[in-house]
Structure 1
């Protein structure tokens, strides 16, 4: 059987994996990036919203090739139709400045990794792996051929279904209440009230989560929702069909693409490193528990993992203790805010449709200067006695 040797093997070429490969490959470290798909970025599993500050934090320059829409703000809608507009003319909305095209964006990130020196192998499936003599031997299949890759460090970026972490005996299973079932159409013929604003719908339209309409330009938009199965007897697809039938923006629209998948919304896993191994992105639960957004956190985690891998290779030390530097960086960056968002998420899940309607009516009377998840929770605490009891010590 053919064998390939590399310093760092990254499994999964999504945002986290490509970021890890890019930052590990700098300064001469031998990096191999593999992905089981024949086309990077497909299928997509998110609404494709990213923030300007988030991209800047990981050194990614804006590129018109993958930006489909620059946004002016957001519209939040309660179950009875009460809406709150968060437009740039009135408030700063900092969570999603752009809608991107993941099929182009993910390839762009992989190209960055390649230009940094990483070797990319597509349609390459990691079938199993074992640790041997302070290396990992990863068995792979590609185009009918079997071979293995011997690597000093493996970085698992293979999504919520990650097998890499399990192969390394990390506890990577997520509790059912911490996994949202997501389904999304890309639709044509969407008639939005303001095609420069994203829309969020709350309440029983999407039990345990929310629904969204993210404009991509002209009359095209991503229309989807995430639910948690313990709160409903219906599937995410059934909820989405009902939402599309009732939402004014989508009643005359047609789907041209469908994407489904699980979203880990329970916060970061407790352990994300082992000897010779790190996991990043959805595989590590590095997703905002309140919004379900994970692109920016995956890019950051990938950067941390790549930098630590590069240093570990230079040191000749691939032990768990050495790689825990990556885990510490992630805990410092993500855990404080993720814990607040997790508690906030649990509170919001406890609200009835009537509760949400009342909160939105109260929000309409407030002066708002900046809107992001933290500010929303602060506003809830300000206007809702129930929220004060549940969340008053968070901010």
Structure 2
């Protein structure tokens, strides 16, 4: 089988990159080891305002808007409540959203190979194990959209994620009631060592989750989730997990070291979790995922049209990483919170006017990820010719 581009992994990043390339007339094969794209969803699916403004997402698969964020110390007492004048978050119903994006990709001409595992490459041929047996794809470029431990990154000699968290989440249908949709985040190193525990209740579903460093969970991640769900804030009037009808259970690895520096080689590039394209703080993971995917499609399109592999040097992770040092610094600070007292002190700082202002800037701002693409049809397009130029 021949193709212009082989995309490995049909999550949000892979689906978006494949469809964008196919719409521009390129021959794209998209392979995923799952036999159904609506199975084994791992992401909470939180879309921020900037994403909703800039990307064409199917509105029928988005939950009600959320404008309130509440930050809690370990005691859950005296939280910091932040309200925005804008619709800041919407939670995607990810299983049907993936199916819709896959249908869009198919219409654009993407050849979707489900139940197909990426094995590596031999020379210029990529080896896969499909439902019908071995499959060989000769592609000009490969795109690794295959998660935090990317096999494509290994084959292309690119950087791989080193700092990983484990996360688990359960989703419940919530009964009709008077409630202000809100995103509740708890800073408690006993439940979420090095990261956060959360409840996002948009009035339709409640997402209850924890994430942290695996080696800091003495009793395991699932026990921590069970402990948190039993007393989690923001679930007034909602039956607790043992009694509720669970809609979904999710879990997986979360890369939190920031965008990797070397995410492109002459034979291909990385997108999504494979590239570390996750906002180092909460509620921004899918925005950098989509922005980096759009940038990847631009660079691959240019390289294919010019017949010049060197153009993939424009896909520069190191230059983009330098654009959000502040968030990386805050992420490292969060990883150092190891005691309830330190967590309580951190939330107390957020109650001060400067703390509240900083929290609003981070959580309600448009800075989850730098836009790597210059405006089309302007002189700015010339800056793409220089690796590391502002985009």
Structure 1 residues 196 and 126: alpha-carbon distance in aligned structure 2, compared to 1, 3 A threshold? same
- Contact in 2 for aligned 1:86/1:92 (Cα 8 Å): no
- Residue 48 of structure 2 corresponds to residue 51 of structure 1: yes
Q: Which residue of 2 aligns with 1:355?
A: 342
Structure 1 residues 47 and 166: alpha-carbon distance in aligned structure 2, compared to 1, 3 A threshold? same
Work out the number of aligned pairs and report it: 355
Name the SS for the 1:267 alignment partner.
Answer: coil
1:228, 1:101 → 2: CA distance? 27
Q: Provide structure 2 residue ranges, at least 5 long, that are not aligned to the other structure.
A: 366-391
2:67, 2:304 → 1: CA distance? 44
**CA offset at residue 360 of structure 1?**
3.1
- Residue 262 of structure 2 corresponds to residue 274 of structure 1: no
Structure 1 residues 357 and 192: alpha-carbon distance in aligned structure 2, compared to 1, 3 A threshold? farther
User: Deviations 1:90-114 (Å, cap 9, x if unpaired)?
Assistant: x6574xx211111122222223333
Structure 1 residues 349 and 373: alpha-carbon distance in aligned structure 2, compared to 1, 3 A threshold? farther
**CA offset at residue 232 of structure 1?**
3.7
Q: Which residue of 1 aligns with 2:371?
A: none
Q: How does 1:264-303 map to 2 (within 5 A)?
A: 264-291=255-282, 293-303=284-294
Structure 1 residues 7 and 75: alpha-carbon distance in aligned structure 2, compared to 1, 3 A threshold? same
- Contact in 2 for aligned 1:212/1:223 (Cα 8 Å): yes
**CA offset at residue 208 of structure 1?**
0.7
Q: Which residue of 2 aligns with 1:231?
A: 216
Structure 1 residues 66 and 376: alpha-carbon distance in aligned structure 2, compared to 1, 3 A threshold? closer
- Contact in 1 for aligned 2:280/2:331 (Cα 8 Å): yes
Structure 1 residues 191 and 160: alpha-carbon distance in aligned structure 2, compared to 1, 3 A threshold? farther
**CA offset at residue 64 of structure 1?**
3.0
Name the SS for the 1:346 alignment partner.
Answer: helix
Q: Which residue of 2 aligns with 1:384?
A: none
Structure 1 residues 211 and 77: alpha-carbon distance in aligned structure 2, compared to 1, 3 A threshold? same
2:266, 2:216 → 1: CA distance? 39
CA RMSD of aligned residues (A): 2.7
- Residue 164 of structure 2 corresponds to residue 179 of structure 1: yes
Structure 1 residues 359 and 260: alpha-carbon distance in aligned structure 2, compared to 1, 3 A threshold? closer
- Residue 228 of structure 2 corresponds to residue 247 of structure 1: no
- Residue 137 of structure 2 corresponds to residue 149 of structure 1: yes
Name the SS for the 2:240 alignment partner.
Answer: coil
Q: Which residue of 2 aligns with 1:336?
A: 323
Structure 1 residues 359 and 222: alpha-carbon distance in aligned structure 2, compared to 1, 3 A threshold? same
User: Deviations 1:142-163 (Å, cap 9, x if unpaired)?
Assistant: 2232221110111110011211
2:39, 2:311 → 1: CA distance? 34
1:45, 1:56 → 2: CA distance? 24
The structure in which a higher percent of residues are strand is 1
**CA offset at residue 334 of structure 1?**
4.6
- Contact in 2 for aligned 1:76/1:200 (Cα 8 Å): yes
- Contact in 2 for aligned 1:22/1:306 (Cα 8 Å): no
Structure 1 residues 299 and 239: alpha-carbon distance in aligned structure 2, compared to 1, 3 A threshold? same
**CA offset at residue 41 of structure 1?**
4.3
User: Deviations 1:334-389 (Å, cap 9, x if unpaired)?
Assistant: 5421x322211222333442233244345345385685463799xxxxxxxxxxxx
- Contact in 1 for aligned 2:71/2:80 (Cα 8 Å): yes
Name the SS for the 2:261 alignment partner.
Answer: coil
Structure 1 residues 280 and 99: alpha-carbon distance in aligned structure 2, compared to 1, 3 A threshold? same
| Larger RCO: 1 or 2 (CA < 8 Å, sep 6+) | 1
- Contact in 1 for aligned 2:47/2:287 (Cα 8 Å): yes
Q: Which residue of 2 aligns with 1:306?
A: 297
**CA offset at residue 322 of structure 1?**
2.1
Structure 1 residues 161 and 280: alpha-carbon distance in aligned structure 2, compared to 1, 3 A threshold? same
- Contact in 1 for aligned 2:6/2:143 (Cα 8 Å): yes
- Contact in 1 for aligned 2:302/2:311 (Cα 8 Å): no
Q: Which residue of 2 aligns with 1:38?
A: 35
Q: Provide structure 1 residue ranges, at least 5 long, that are not aligned to the other structure.
A: 378-395
- Residue 307 of structure 2 corresponds to residue 316 of structure 1: yes
- Contact in 2 for aligned 1:186/1:222 (Cα 8 Å): yes
- Among residues 7, 11, 14, which one is paired with 1:14 in the alignment? 11
- Residue 255 of structure 2 corresponds to residue 260 of structure 1: no
User: Deviations 1:215-239 (Å, cap 9, x if unpaired)?
Assistant: 2543x31111101134342322121
**Range with bigger deviation, 78-87 or 276-285:** 78-87
